[in-house]
């Protein structure tokens, strides 16, 4: 009981320091909702020291190949679809030039020119978003390197969005719950409210249950490989040893944990 009281007072104190009692009109705590950023470890959970992902762009030939992956993520995390420029994105597809702005090549291979590239939070080893967040709503989990969001602490300042060089975060300008069906695709995952930033969490809530990320589960033919980058024997390390890979904007020193095979 004392532990819970200390947590409450700590969060309340952080918000009070900014003169805020509620963030953009939403409750500090939502009774009965699971906080995905504070998933308790389960006995059968996946364990890793540095989770990462490999995306094999050679396995994608059109939007039909990436849509099931995007849909799986949206369903697992109750991501709404909003028909305007305020749409929320956890994982989405874009063109090669948009994803790899530092890969200057006037004569890029035609296949790459037309290949949809999946992009998401890179769960950087050195995440600038974590340093920019004034309330620690964005934080890096020490045990495995995943960059997570505590929706209750987010005050909607969007400093993390300005700090992220990959455009991997979305801001809820409108109430996202208005765009969700009455019957949620995953009632166990918390819905968000207006004024909150959100992004990919590497399915931390699924890892805690011993399940792989939803996007990896939906991918076919090992198009997405998820694993422990610290384990030399892991499939993800094998894929990186045997194939040429690139990362998004590596020169910035963020050390992304998402690799692309091209």
Please report, for the domain that includes residue 36, its CATH number: 3.30.70.20
8 pLDDT more than 50? no
Q: What is the pLDDT of residue 113?
A: 74
Q: What is the pLDDT of residue 102?
A: 83
The answer to whether 195 and 203 have CB atoms below 8 angstroms apart is no
Q: Is the model more confident about 5 or about 87?
A: 87
Strand partners, 157: none
How would residue 31 be classed by pLDDT, with cut points 50, 70 and 90?
very low
Q: Is the model more confident about 113 or about 225?
A: 225
How much is the CA Rg of the chain, to the nearest whole Å? 19
Q: What is the pLDDT of residue 192?
A: 96
How would residue 45 be classed by pLDDT, with cut points 50, 70 and 90?
low
CA distances (Å), 171 to each of 27, 86, 198, in order? 17, 8, 7
261 pLDDT more than 80? yes
Q: What is the pLDDT of residue 56?
A: 97
Q: What is the pLDDT of residue 232?
A: 95
**Average pLDDT of the residues of the chain:** 85
194 in any annotated domain: yes
Closest Cα partner for 197 from 145, 141, 138, 256? 138
pTM here is 0.81
Range of the structural domain that residue 180 is part of: 24-47+62-216
What is the number of structural domains in the chain? 1
pLDDT in tens, 148-199: 999 999 999 999 999 999 999 999 999 999 999 999 999 999 999 999 999 9
The pLDDT of 234-253, averaged and rounded, is 96
pLDDT in tens, 65-113: 999 999 999 999 999 999 888 899 999 999 998 999 887 776 677 777 7
104 in any annotated domain: yes
230 in any annotated domain: no
- Residues ≥6 apart with Cβ < 8 Å to 42: 208, 209, 210
208 in any annotated domain: yes
12 in any annotated domain: no
DSSP assignment string, 104-135: --TT--HHHHT--EEEE----SS-HHHHH-SS
Q: What is the pLDDT of residue 97?
A: 87
Strand partners, 55: 224, 260
114 in any annotated domain: yes
Q: What is the pLDDT of residue 1?
A: 42
90 in any annotated domain: yes
234 in any annotated domain: no
Question: Lowest-confidence range among 17-21, 102-106, 146-150, 213-217?
Answer: 17-21
The answer to whether 207 and 45 have CB atoms below 8 angstroms apart is yes
């Amino acid at each position: 009981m004392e532990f819970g009281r200390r947590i409450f007072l700590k969060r309340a104190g952080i918000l009070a320091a900014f003169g805020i009692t509620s963030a953009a009109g939403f409750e500090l705590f939502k009774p009965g909702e699971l906080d995905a950023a504070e998933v308790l470890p389960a006995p059968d959970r996946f364990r890793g020291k540095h989770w990462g992902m490999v995306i094999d762009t050679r396995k994608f030939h059109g939007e039909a190949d990436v849509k099931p992956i995007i849909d799986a993520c949206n369903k697992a995390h109750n991501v709404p679809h909003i028909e305007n420029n305020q749409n929320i994105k956890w994982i989405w597809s874009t063109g090669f030039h948009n994803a790899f702005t530092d890969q200057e090549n006037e004569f890029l291979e035609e296949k790459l020119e037309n290949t949809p590239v999946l992009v998401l939070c890179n769960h950087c080893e050195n995440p600038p978003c974590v340093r920019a967040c004034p309330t620690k709503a964005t934080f890096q989990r020490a045990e495995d390197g995943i960059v997570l969001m505590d929706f209750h602490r987010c005050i909607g300042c969007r400093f993390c969005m300005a700090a992220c060089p990959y455009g991997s975060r979305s801001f809820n300008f409108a109430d996202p719950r208005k765009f969700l069906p009455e019957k949620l695709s995953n009632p166990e995952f918390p819905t968000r409210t207006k004024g909150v930033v959100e992004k990919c969490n590497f399915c931390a809530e699924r890892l805690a249950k011993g399940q792989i990320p939803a996007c990896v589960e939906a991918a076919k033919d090992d198009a997405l490989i998820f694993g422990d980058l610290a384990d030399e024997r892991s499939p993800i390390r094998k894929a990186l040893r045997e194939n040429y890979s690139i990362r998004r904007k590596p020169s910035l020193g963020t050390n992304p944990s998402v690799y692309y095979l091209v």
